[in-house]
Structure 1
Amino acid sequence: GVGVPLMIALAEWMGIRKNDEHYRLLARRWARGFVVTVAVGVVTGTAIGLQLNLLWPNFMQLAGQTISLPLFMEVFAFFFEAIFLGIYLYTWDRFKSKFRHFLLVIPVVIGASFSAFFITTVNAFMNAPQGFEMVNGVITDINPIAAMFNPATPTKTAHVIITCYLTSAFVLGMIGAVKMLKGDRHVYHKKALRLTMTAAFIFSIGTVIIGDFSGKYLAEYQPEKLAAAEWHFETEENAPLVVGGLLSENGEVNYALEIPYALSILAHGDPTAEVTGLDQFAEEDTAPLFVHYLFDSMVIIGMYLAFVSFLYLAFSWKKKNWMHHKLLLWGIVAGGPLSVLAIEFGWVFAEIGRQPWILYEIMRTPEGATTSEHVDTMLYMFIGLYALLGISSSIVLRKMFKDNPVAQELEQRGIEERRDQS
C-alpha cells in the first residue's frame, strides 16, 4: 500500500504527458485494486495496535510515553490518504482538465509515504532509543521530537519506503507479465511492463545506495548486529564479506563465498578499516547467527530485482523484442513474490538482529512481553483474522478484475485496441 499510489500517479502522469489513454486506464484499474488493500489496512492496523498492547504491555507502558507522537501521526496520515483516495476515485472524467484530477492523487502518495515514515520511526526508536531520561526506573524529561528523529530514523525510514516502492513496481509488473505469458500481447500490458520495470530499476538503485548507508549505521551504532549478519567473529582490518556458507559446531565457516575487503567498505567506506567482531560482545548480548541467511537472502533478492529490471530496460533500449521473451517474463513474474519475500526477510532480520533487546540496551525482550497464560489463544485469533482477510481480499480482487477484464474496459471506453504478436 505504500508504493502503489506512487505507481498510480506515475501512470496517470504518463497518460497526461503522452495523451495516452492506456496509461490512464492503468492508473484507474490500479486505483480500484488499491482501495481493497486500504480497506484491509484499516483492519490490520487496528489488529497491530491490539497486538502491541495485549502482547507487549510492559514495552508499551515504557515506550508509549515517549514515542506516541508518530503513532498518532501515522493514523492522521492514513486518514488523509483514505479521504483523498475516495475523492480521486469518484472524480474520474469529472474535470475538463485531466491535470486537475491528477493533482488529487498527490495527497494519496504523500499520505501513504508519510504513514510508512511515521510508523517506521517507532521501529527506529526501538533500535536507537532517545528523547527521555530514566531516573530510578521512571521516565522523565520526555522529548517526543528527539525520540522520533533518532539516529536510526534516516536510514530506517528511507530503506523501508524505497523497498516498498520497489516491491509495488514488481508486483504490478508481474500482473502484466502473467497476462503476456497467457497470450495477451496487448499494448496495454506492454506499457504496464515498461512503466513498472523502469520504476523498479530506479528504485533498485536507490535501495542499493540506502542499503550502503544502513550498513554504515549498523557499524557505528549496532556493530554486534552487523557482525552477526556477516558471521564476522573476530575484530580485524581488511574484513571480507561472507556470503552463504555453513557454520560448523566449532564456529568455522565452510563453503562460503568471501569477498575481500567488502565488509570493511560496507562498514566504513575504507577497504583497510577495522570492523568490530562478535568477540567484543558477550554471547547473551548478540543475535542468533541464523540472521546471516536472512540478510543474505534479502540482498540476493534485491540484486536479482535490479538485474531483471535492468535487463528489460537494456532490451527495450536496443529495440529488441527479447524484452518480451518468455524467460524474461517469467523472471518478472518471479520478482513479484520474491520482492515481497525480501521485505519479510528484511523485517525479520531487523527484529531478530536486535535481540536480546526489544528497546536497545534498555529493555530486554522477555521484560517487555506479556505474562498472560492465554497467548496461544490470541495467536490463533490473529492467525484466523489474517487468514480471513487474505482469503476475502483475494476473492474480491479476483472478482473485481475478472468481471471487468482489460479488453472489455478498453472497448467500453472507446480506447483503440491494438494487438500484435511480437
Structure 2
Amino acid sequence: MVDAQPWAAMFGPSTWPQVVHMLLAAYMVTGFTIASVYAVGMLRGRRERRHRLGLLIPLAFAAALTPVQVGVGDWIANTVADNQPAKLAAMEGEYETTAGAPLSVGGLHYDDELHYALEIPNGLSLLIHHDPDGVVLGLEEIPVDERPPVNVVHLAFDTMVGLGTALLLLSLVFGWTWWRRRRMPESRWFLRAVAVSGVAAVVAMEAGWIVTEVGRQPWVVYGILRTEDAVSPAPGLYLGFYAVVVIYVLLTALTVFVLRRLARSPDTAAPQEVDARPPERDVGEAAVR
C-alpha cells in the first residue's frame, strides 16, 4: 500500500450531500413516525391536548424539513451525475447516451431498454444539467461487468421519490391549513395519511440506501476497489453479523411493543374544572335577607 489518504477516503465528493441527505431523512423518519402514533390515537377518538400536541410538534418538525430534503435531493443528483454516471443511468434505466433525456417513472428494464415507463420529456436533462437539452450518459458507455442491477436501483429510486413526494404533499396540506386557519387539519383522511406517514418515511429511507449501495455495485470504492475484492477472508465474521441482526430485531420488537403500549394506555383523566364564580344564593334566602 502506497500513498494512503484516509482524509480523502472519508471526505470524498459525495460526503457532504450524503451526510446532509441522511440526517434530514433520519429526522423526517423520527418526526413522521412519532406523529403517526398519535394520529392513530386521534383516529380512535383521543382528541385531548396531549394527543394533539403529540401529533402537532413532530409533524411540524418533519413537515418543515421535507421541502429542504427535496432541494438536497437535487444536490445529490448532480453529484451522482458528475461522479457515478453508471448509478445515475441505472436510477433512470437510461441505456443510450441522450441529449434531452426524459425522466422515467416506473417501468422495467430488459433487452437494453426501459419498458412501460411514464416519461417526462427532457426531465432528466433538466434535473441534472438545468438544461432541457443536456446530455446524460447511458449504460452503453459502461462496460457490462461494471453495471449495477438496473431494475433494483430504478424501482428503489422510484419508491424513494414517490413516497418523498407524497410526504411533501402531506406537509404542504398541513402547512397551508396552519397558515390559513392557525390549526392543523383534523379530518379523518388527513389523520389516516399521517398514520401511514411513519411507515412511508422508513420505506423511503431504506429505498434510498438501496439506491446508494446497490447503485454503486460492483464497486465498494467507486472505480478503485471492486466489492468481490474487498470481502475479508477472516474467519468467524458471520457470527458478528448474526449477532447484530439479533440485537436489532430485539430492539425493533421492543420499540414496537412500547409504542403499542403507549397507544393502548388509558388516558389520564382530566382534572375537574373549578368554577371560580361565587355560588348563587337561594332566591328565598335572598328575599329573607
Scaled to the shorter chain, the TM-score interval is: 0.7 to 0.9
Q: 2:3 maps to which residue?
A: 140
User: Aligned residue pairs: how many?
Assistant: 273
CA root-mean-square deviation: 2.7
Structure 1 residue 241, shift from structure 2 partner: 0.6
Q: 1:70 maps to which residue?
A: none
Contact 1:218/1:267 (8 A) holds in 2: no
Q: Is it true that 1:370 corresponds to 2:232 in the alignment?
A: yes
Structure 1 residue 147, shift from structure 2 partner: 3.5
Instruction: Write 1 or 2 for the structure with the bigger share of helix.
Output: 1
Distance between the aligned counterparts of 1:370 and 1:397, measured in 2? Answer: 39
Q: 1:325 maps to which residue?
A: 187
Cα 1:241/1:152, change in 2 over 3 Å: same
* Residue identity opposite 2:77 in structure 1: G
* Residue identity opposite 2:124 in structure 1: L
Deviations 1:270-307 (A, max 9, x none): 11111111111101111101210000000000000011
Of 14, 21, 31, which aligns to 1:152?
Answer: 14
Structure 1 residue 374, shift from structure 2 partner: 5.5
Cα 1:386/1:141, change in 2 over 3 Å: closer
* Residue identity opposite 2:117 in structure 1: A
Q: Secondary structure at the match of 1:358?
A: strand
Cα 1:194/1:379, change in 2 over 3 Å: closer
Q: 1:135 maps to which residue?
A: none
Contact 1:200/1:306 (8 A) holds in 2: no
Deviations 1:13-37 (A, max 9, x none): xxxxxxxxxxxxxxxxxxxxxxxxx
Matches within 5 A, 1:17-32: none
Q: Secondary structure at the match of 2:268?
A: helix
Q: 1:231 maps to which residue?
A: 93
* Residue identity opposite 2:138 in structure 1: G
Q: Percent identity?
A: 33
Of 21, 27, 33, which aligns to 1:165?
Answer: 27
Matches within 5 A, 1:195-344: 195-248=57-110, 250-290=111-151, 291-319=153-181, 323-344=185-206
Gaps of 5+ in 1: 1-137, 417-422
Distance between the aligned counterparts of 2:170 and 2:217, measured in 1? Answer: 34
Contact 2:37/2:259 (8 A) holds in 1: no
Cα 1:393/1:185, change in 2 over 3 Å: closer
Structure 1 residue 215, shift from structure 2 partner: 0.5
Matches within 5 A, 1:349-368: 349-368=211-230
Q: 1:389 maps to which residue?
A: 251
Distance between the aligned counterparts of 1:363 and 1:415, measured in 2? Answer: 70
Distance between the aligned counterparts of 2:19 and 2:273, measured in 1? Answer: 40
Distance between the aligned counterparts of 1:193 and 1:390, measured in 2? Answer: 22
Larger CA deviation: 308-317 vs 278-287: 308-317
Deviations 1:60-112 (A, max 9, x none): xxxxxxxxxxxxxxxxxxxxxxxxxxxxxxxxxxxxxxxxxxxxxxxxxxxxx
Distance between the aligned counterparts of 1:335 and 1:393, measured in 2? Answer: 17
Contact 1:243/1:257 (8 A) holds in 2: yes
Q: Secondary structure at the match of 1:159?
A: helix
* Residue identity opposite 2:53 in structure 1: K
Structure 1 residue 269, shift from structure 2 partner: 1.4
Q: 1:191 maps to which residue?
A: 53
Contact 1:232/1:277 (8 A) holds in 2: yes
Distance between the aligned counterparts of 1:223 and 1:391, measured in 2? Answer: 39
Structure 1 residue 393, shift from structure 2 partner: 3.9
Contact 1:162/1:203 (8 A) holds in 2: yes
Structure 1 residue 323, shift from structure 2 partner: 1.4
Cα 1:415/1:215, change in 2 over 3 Å: farther
Q: Secondary structure at the match of 1:140?
A: coil
* Residue identity opposite 2:3 in structure 1: T
* Residue identity opposite 1:386 in structure 2: Y
Structure 1 residue 226, shift from structure 2 partner: 0.2
Q: Secondary structure at the match of 2:150?
A: coil
Cα 1:220/1:306, change in 2 over 3 Å: same
Contact 2:177/2:184 (8 A) holds in 1: yes
Q: 2:281 maps to which residue?
A: none
TM-score between both structures, scaled by the size of structure 2? 0.85
